[in-house]
Amino acid sequence: VVPECNPQDIAQWKNRGIIANPNCSTIQMVQILKPLDDAYGINRVDVATYQAASGAGKEGMEELVVQLQKFFEFKLDECEPKVFAHQLAFNVIPHIDVFLDNDYTKEEMKMVNETQKILHKNMEVSATCVRVPVLRSHSEAITIHFDRDVDAAAAREVLRKAPSIVVVDEPAAKKYPMPSISSDTNETYVGRIRTDNYRKNVLHLWCSADQIRVGAATNAVRIAQKWIEMQE
């Protein structure tokens, strides 16, 4: 459940006695997709994630910090990666979780399946999940295909009115979402909103959110708050 998207599904807790928190990368994406889908109708989403080391837990963050320290001591070659498949410092790794028979990773298929489930829509979703040498906050480059033409300025206004979303989109002033902005906050930041050069029904955008808060703890608190409201 993501309360901004499918609060009605909270009621299903009575059937199983549990309310599931989705994957962290899925949460920040569907918070953006939901208002846009309501306004224009989405038929396909392509996303590439830039996921922070702390997405692999405290050990992942510590491994990155140690590698950075060893680099400046000229001892990086002495560091054997344990949490990640390869050295993460000064590197990007297109591999999060295990690879499946379809050549996608489990993380990527989570984003596919959870997006369809949360939005109650059998839209096409394709994901490439990448680990990057950032301590905190996941970022995503998202391409959205709509049922009709979409004006970027209008889409920007839709997102400005959406809950838990902060639009930071002033490229001329060098203002756009970054992990340094989103870390330690409870909002999903979105920017670089632009219409495709060739297809007017396609929108590109960039987002960043603290995966520990937005992608886990804050979403759980919002679920609890919504559940309490439903009991009153």
- The catalytic site residues sit at 24, 138
Domain residue limits at 126: 20-52+92-231
The pTM (predicted TM-score) of the whole model is 0.95
Q: Is residue 82 part of a domain?
A: no
Which parts of the chain have pLDDT scores under 70? none
Q: Is residue 14 part of a domain?
A: no
Q: Is residue 80 part of a domain?
A: no
Q: What separation in angstroms does the CA of 15 have from each of 4, 10, 119, 224, 232?
A: 22, 10, 20, 17, 20
**Of residues 134, 128, 133, the one with CA closest to residue 179:** 134
CATH number for the domain harbouring residue 113: 3.30.360.10
Helix axes of 24-40 and 106-119: crossing angle, nearest 10 degrees: 40
Based on the structure, what is the number of domains in the chain? 1
Q: Is residue 224 part of a domain?
A: yes
pLDDT confidence of residue 14: 82
Q: Is residue 11 part of a domain?
A: no
pLDDT confidence of residue 15: 84
Q: What angle do CA 179, 97, 51 make, to 5 degrees?
A: 5
Q: Is residue 185 part of a domain?
A: yes
Cβ neighbours of residue 196 closer than 8 Å, sequence gap 6 or more: 143, 202, 203, 204
pLDDT confidence of residue 149: 98
Q: Is residue 66 part of a domain?
A: no
